[in-house]
Amino acid sequence: MILLALTGRFSLETLFMLEGIFPINNEIINTPLWFLYALFWMSLLYYIIRRYFQNDLLIILICLLINVLHYILKENNIL
């Protein structure tokens, strides 16, 4: 990812092009594009976790911890 950014093939402008995927003012959601956007971020998150941790059990626990943290933040209306 860093190499892509350094060579100019990946930049913030690339991410801002995806801004139109999300609805504004109750518009219809473009589901296939939303899925690809979510798949990209989940793949990136898993890649980062997998790069630093090799133990499968530890990866499962980290993913579970992220899930519980997301649930707590969502219940408290922080997200």
pLDDT < 70 regions, the chain = 1-12, 14-30
pLDDT at 21: 65
pLDDT at 20: 66
Q: Alpha-carbon distance 61 to 79, whole Å?
A: 22
Buried b (16+ CB within 10 A) or exposed e, 24-59: eeeeeeeeeeeeeeeeeeeeeeeeeeeeeeeeeeee
Q: pLDDT tens for residues 46-61? A: 999 999 999 999 999 9
* Domain range list for the chain: 2-75
pLDDT at 52: 94
